[in-house]
Amino acid sequence: MISQQLALCFCDVLRQPMPAGFECATIAELPGWDSVAHLSLMMEIEKRFQIRFRATELFAITTIPALIAVIEERQHA
């Protein structure tokens, strides 16, 4: 469920179709990604999942599984 919502969020912000193997992708390898888009993505994820990343996490989270783990952790906190 989180994975699907997250994929939609990436599609909207990066304006790209959903890539194959999204669930285990490295964020920086997704089509349309760059450092500016990265921050927009993180802000959008915060909004949609109603969570808040720590400042260091904004750049330290580099893979989709790691991102999903943080979202799950925050939602259950």
Partner 1 sequence: MKPFRLALFTDSAPQFLERALLSLAQAQGFAIELKVWGFTSPLAVQDELATFQPEAVCYWLCSEQARTHQLPSIEPLLALPYHWLICNLPILDEGAFGNYALLAPSSLRARLAQWNHDLLERAQTQHNLHLIDLERLVSDLGHRQCFDARLWHMAAVALTPTATELLAERILATLRVMRGEVRKVLVTDLDDTFWSGIVSDVGAQGIHPEDSSRCAYRAWLKTLAQRGILLAIASRNEIATVQEAFARDDLDFSLEDFAAVQVAWDVPKSEMLKRIAEQLGVHTSSLVFIDDRIENRNEVRAQCPDVLVPELPEDSTCWMDVLSSLTGFETLAITEDDALRAQSIKSNQQRLALAETLSQEDYLASLEQQLTPEPLSAQNVERAAQLSQRCNRFNMCNTRHTAEELLNRKGWVYRLKDRYGDMGLISVVILEQNEIVSWVMSCRAFGRGIEQRILSHLKSMIPELCGRYQPTERNTLCANLYQENGVPLP
Q: Which residues bind partner 1 (CB under 8 A)?
A: 35-36, 39-40, 43, 53-56, 58-59
> Whose Cβ is closer to partner 1: residue 4's or residue 31's?
31
Please state the closest distance from residue 23 (CB atom) to partner 1, in A: 26
> Whose Cβ is closer to partner 1: residue 3's or residue 27's?
27
Please state the closest distance from residue 18 (CB atom) to partner 1, in A: 21
Please state the closest distance from residue 53 (CB atom) to partner 1, in A: 8
Burial class (CB in 10 A: 0-12, 13-18, 19+), 50: exposed
